Amino acid sequence: MSVDVNGRTGARRAEPLGTTHLPDLDAGLDLPEQPRRAVRAVRSSDVFALAGSAVAAVALTALLTTVVLPTSGVVSMVLIWYVSFLGLYALLVSQDEQRTVVVDRIATVVLSTAGVILFGVLVFVLSYTVSRGSSALTHANFFSQDMKDAGPLQGLEVGGMIHAAIGTLEQISIALTLTVPLGLVTAVFLNEFPSRFSKFVRTIVEAMTALPSIVAGLFIYATFILMLGRPKSGLAAALALSVMMLPIVIRASDVVLRLVPGPLKEASYALGTSRWKTVWHVVLPTARSGLTTAVILGTARGIGETSPVLLTAGFSATVNANPLEGPQVSLPLAIFEFVRSPQPAMIQRGFGTAVTLLALVLLLFIAARIIGGRAPGQETARMKRRRKAESAKDAARMAARLGTPVGVLVLVGGIVAGLALAPSAPAKAADAFVPISGAGSTWSQNALDQWRRNVNQYGMQVNYQGTGSSDGRNQFRNGTVDFAVSEIPYGLKDGGVVDTPPTRGFAYMPIVAGGTSFMYNLKIGGQRVTNLRLSGDVIAGIFTGNITQWNDPKIKADNPGLALPARQIIPVVRSDGSGTTAQFATWMSKEHAQVWNNYCATAGRPTPCGVTSFFPVVSGSKFVAQAGSLGVSGFVSQAQNEGTITYVEYSYALATNFPVVKVLNSAGYYVEPTANSVAVGLEGARIDKNLTQDLTGVYRNRDPRTYPLSSYSYMIVPTATTSSFTTAKGYTLGAFASYFLCEGQQQAPTLGYSPLPLNLVQAAFKQVARIPGAKVAKNPYAKCNNPTFGPGGTNLLAKNAPYPAKCDKQGPTQCLNGTGGAKVPTANTGGAPDPGNGTPSGGPGGGSGTTAGPGGSGGGTATTGTGGAPGTPVGSGAGTGGTGTTPGGVGSAPVVGAAVDPETGLPAGTTLASGAPVAGQSVNVASGAVGGQTLLLLLAGLVLVGAVVVPPLVGQYLGRRA
Amino acid sequence: MSALSALSRGSRRRARVEPADAVFASVAHAGGILVLVVMTSVGLFLGYRALEALQIAKLHFVTEQLWEPDGGRFGIAGVLLGTISVGLVAITFALPLALGTSLFISEIAPRGLQRTLISLVDLMAAVPSVVYGLWGAFFLQSHVYGLSKLISQYLGWIPIFAIPGSNPDDPLDSATQYQSSIFIAGMVVALMITPIMTSVMREAFSQAPVGEREAALGLGATRWGMIRAVVLPFGRGGVIGGTMLGLGRALGETIAVYMILSVVVGIQPHILKSGGSTVSALIAQRYGDSTRVGVSALMAAGLALFLVTLVINFAAASVVARSRSGAEST
Q: Is the pLDDT of residue A514 over 60?
A: yes
Tens digits of per-residue pLDDT, A199-257? 999 999 988 888 899 999 999 998 988 888 888 889 999 999 999 999 999 998 998 89
Using CA atoms, how far apart are residues A845 and A855, in angstroms rounded to an integer? 5
Q: What is the DSSP string of A838-885?
A: S---S-HHHHH-SS--TT---SSPP---SS--SSPPBPPP-PPPP---
- The verdict on a CB contact (< 8 Å) between A218 and B283 is yes
In eight-state DSSP terms, residue A925 is -
Answer yes or no: do B2 and A391 touch at CB < 8 A: yes
- What is chain B's mean pLDDT, rounded? 85
Q: Please say whether the beta carbons of B207 and B199 come within 8 A.
A: no
The CA distance from A536 to the nearest CA of chain B, in Å, is 25
pLDDT at A27: 45
Contact (Cβ atoms closer than 8 angstroms) between residue A794 and residue A764: no
| Size of the A and B interface in Cβ pairs below 8 Å | 412
Chain B residues whose CB is inside 8 A of the A226 CB are 295
* Residue at A304: amino acid letter: G
Residues A641, B176: C-beta atoms closer than 8 Å: yes
Q: Per-residue pLDDT tens for A884-931?
A: 333 333 333 333 334 444 444 444 443 333 333 333 334 444 444 445
pTM of the predicted protein model: 0.77
Rounded CA-CA distance B34/A493 in Å is 44
What per-residue confidence (pLDDT) applies to A415? Answer: 52
Please report, rounded to a whole number, the percentage of residues in chain A having pLDDT higher than 90: 20
Identify the CA nearest to A557 among candidates A573, A541, A544: A541
Taking the CA of residue B244 and the nearest CA in chain A, the distance in Å comes to 12
Distance CA B163, CA B151 (A): 10
Using the predicted structure, report yes or no on whether residue A841 has a pLDDT greater than 60: no
Choose among A129, A351, A625: nearest Cβ to B263: A625
Question: What residues contact residue A454 under an 8 Å CB cut-off, 6+ apart?
Answer: A739, A744
The pLDDT of B28-33, averaged and rounded, is: 92
Picking from B171, B217, B313, the nearest residue to A925 by CB comes out as B171
- DSSP H or E segment with residue B102: helix B77-103
Among candidates A794, A795, A819, A787, which has minimal Cα distance to A805? A819
DSSP string spanning B27-60? HHHHHHHHHHHHHHHHHHHHHHHHHHHHHHHTTH
Angle between helix axes A196-208 and B292-324 (nearest 10 degrees) is 120
DSSP state letter for A375: -
Contact A214 B302 (CB under 8 A): yes
Q: Residues A373-381: what's their mean pLDDT? A: 59
Q: Are A833 and A840 in contact (CB under 8 A)?
A: yes
Which residues of chain A does B165 touch, with a Cβ-Cβ cutoff of 8 Å? Answer: 568, 622
pLDDT at position A874 over 90: no
- Alpha-carbon distance of A269 to B280, in angstroms, equals 49
Q: Other C-beta atoms within 10 Å of A933: how many?
A: 9
Smallest Cα–Cα separation from A890: which of A881, A878, A901, A880? A881
Q: How many CB atoms lie within 10 A of CB A813?
A: 22
ipTM of the complex: 0.89
Phi-psi region of A274 (alpha: psi -120 to 50; beta: other; left: phi over 0): beta
A303 within 8 A of A357, measured Cβ to Cβ: yes
Which residues does residue A518 pair with via DSSP β-bridges, in sequence order? A647
| Helix axes A469-478 and A579-591, enclosed angle (nearest 10) | 120
Query: Tell me, what's the pLDDT at B168?
Result: 66
B15 to chain A, any CB pair closer than 8 A? The answer is no
| Closest to A634 in 3D by CA, of A656, A654, A657, A651 | A656
**Could you report the per-residue pLDDT of B305-330, keeping only the tens digit for each?**
999 999 998 888 888 777 655 444 43
Report CB contact under 8 Å: B270, A74. no
Please count the other Cβ atoms lying within 10 Å of the Cβ belonging to residue A762.
14
Angstrom distance (rounded) from CA A637 to CA A658: 7
Note the Cα B82 to chain centre separation in Å.
14
pLDDT tens digits, residue range A282-338?
888 888 888 888 888 888 888 988 999 989 988 888 888 888 888 899 999 999 988
CA angle A207, A211, A212 (to 5 degrees): 155
* Residue B108 to residue A565, Cβ atoms within 8 A: no
Q: Which residues of B touch A221 (CB under 8 A)?
A: 287, 295
Nearest chain B residue to A471, by CA: B289
Share of chain B above pLDDT 70, in %: 89
Q: Which residues contact A361 (CB under 8 A, 6 or more apart)?
A: A300, A303, A304, B126, B127, B128
Read off the pLDDT of residues A57-88 as tens digits, 9 standing for 90 and up.
888 888 887 777 666 667 778 888 999 999 99
Pairing of strands A693-694, A686-687: antiparallel
- Cα–Cα dist B155/A546, whole Å: 29
On chain A, the residues whose CB falls within 8 A of the CB of B145 are 640
Higher-pLDDT residue of B21, A38: B21
Distance CA A394, CA B5 (A): 13
User: Which of A8, A182, A604 lies at the smallest CB-CB distance from B73?
Assistant: A604
* Residues B5 and A5: beta-carbon distance below 8 Å: no
Give the model confidence (pLDDT) of A779-814 as tens digits: 777 778 788 887 777 788 888 888 888 888 888 888
Whole-number average pLDDT of chain A: 78
pLDDT of B45 above 80: yes
Nearest-CA distance A101 → chain B (Å): 7
Contacts of A939 by beta carbon, 8 Å cutoff, 6+ apart? none
- Alpha-carbon span A465 to A452, nearest angstrom: 12
What residue type is assigned to position A260 of the chain?
V
Q: Beta-carbon neighbour count of residue A23 at 10 Å?
A: 11
pLDDT, tens digit, 9 for 90 and up, residues B149-164 = 878 888 888 888 887 7
pLDDT at B269: 86
DSSP for residue A919: -
Contact B205, B106 (CB under 8 A): yes
DSSP string, A753-781: -BPPPHHHHHHHHHHHHHSTT----SSTT
pLDDT band for A499, please (50, 70, 90 cuts): confident
Q: pLDDT per residue over A568-595, tens digit each? A: 898 999 988 888 999 899 999 888 988 8
Burial of B17 (0-12, 13-18, 19+ CB in 10 A): middle
With beta carbons under 8 A apart, name residues in chain A contacting B36.
200-201, 204
Distances from the Cα of B122 to the Cαs of B31, B115, B195, B202, B251, in angstroms? 30, 11, 7, 12, 20
Note the pLDDT of residue A72.
Answer: 64
Residues of B in contact with A867 (CB under 8 A): 171
Backbone angles phi, psi at A663, to 5 degrees: -100, 140
Residues 238-297 of B with CB under 8 A from A: 248, 251-252, 254-255, 258-259, 262-268, 270, 273-275, 279-280, 283-291, 293, 295
Contact in structure between B89 and A331 (CB atoms under 8 Å): no
Instruction: Tell me the one-letter amino acid at A924.
Output: N
Which residues are registered as beta bridge partners of A510? A714
B155 touches chain A (CB under 8 A): no
Contact between A395 and B5 using a beta-carbon 8 Å cutoff: yes
Q: What is the pLDDT of residue B20?
A: 82
Interatomic CA distance for residues A267 and A269, integer angstroms:
5
pLDDT value at residue A901: 45
**B2 near A395, Cβ under 8 Å?**
yes
| Residues of chain A contacting B191 with CB distance shorter than 8 Å | 121, 125
A350-354, A410-414, A792-796, B125-129, range with the lowest pLDDT:
A410-414
Q: Which long-range contacts (CB under 8 A, 24 or more apart) does A200-205 make?
A: A200/B36, A201/B32, A201/B35, A201/B36, A202/A254, A204/B35, A204/B36, A204/B39, A204/B40, A205/A247, A205/A250, A205/A251, A205/A254, A205/B35, A205/B39
Sequence-separated (6 or more) residues with CB below 8 Å from residue A844: A857
Residue A627 CB partners (closer than 8 Å, separation 6+):
A340, A468, A574, A575, A576, B263, B285
Pinpoint the alpha helices (H) of A479-578.
536-542, 553-558
Mean pLDDT of A718-747: 87
Rounded CA gap, B151 and B170, in Å? 16
Burial of A184 (0-12, 13-18, 19+ CB in 10 A): buried
Residue A171 has pLDDT above 90, yes or no: yes
Is A592 in a helix, a strand, or coil?
Answer: coil
Angstrom distances, CA of residue A602 to CA of A81, A184, A599, B29? 47, 56, 5, 58
**A contact test, residue of B130, B178, B191 with most A CBs within 10 A:** B130
